[in-house]
Amino acid sequence: MAADYAYVGVFLVVGLLFVVVNVDVLSRLLRPSNPQPEKSKTYECGEDPIGISWIRVHIRYYLYALVYVIFAVETVYLIPWAVVFRELGLFAFVEMMVFIAILFVGFAYAWKKGALEWVA
């Protein structure tokens, strides 16, 4: 039984060594190295940057993005459920309504807290 675990351990070590050798060692040997200040400059859509690249972003944008991600995840669960809705029955319908109710409570909370107001 210990030999079975030894096989797994050997394959794990060989796999990790393979990844490290290919990613680190071979990439250092094969890639071109020609550092220049122009290559280290911040690049945005073919335009030269104006000002510094490190700016502060208001936390409201992050909150807005998180709310968007939450509702995008809802869509990921809702669309496949809708496709097979007739085959799932009443129990799956009730489960999805509970899921949507929880998301609606989260949406109402975010709305009440002002997280959805873009400019305030």
The Cα angle at residue 54 between residues 53 and 56, in degrees rounded to 5: 130
103 within 8 A of 74, measured Cβ to Cβ: yes
Tell me: do 64 and 109 sit in the same domain.
Answer: yes
**Would you call 47 helix, strand, or coil by DSSP?**
strand
Q: What mean pLDDT do residues 97-119 have? A: 82
Smallest Cα–Cα separation from 64: which of 111, 16, 17?
111
78 within 8 A of 96, measured Cβ to Cβ: yes
pLDDT over threshold 80, residue 50: no
Is residue 51 in some structural domain? Answer: no
pLDDT over threshold 80, residue 76: yes
In the block, residue with structure tokens 């998180």: 66
Is residue 48 in some structural domain? Answer: no
Tell me: do 103 and 64 sit in the same domain.
Answer: yes
Domain that holds residue 89: 59-113
Any idea which of 8-17, 31-40, 78-87, 104-113 has the lowest mean pLDDT?
31-40
pLDDT of residue 23: 87
Q: What is the mean pLDDT of the chain?
A: 82
Is residue 13 in some structural domain? Answer: yes
Q: How many domains does the chain have?
A: 2
Is residue 9 in some structural domain? Answer: yes
Is residue 34 in some structural domain? Answer: yes
What predicted TM-score, i.e. pTM, was given to this entire model? 0.46
Is residue 50 in some structural domain? Answer: no
pLDDT of residue 77: 82
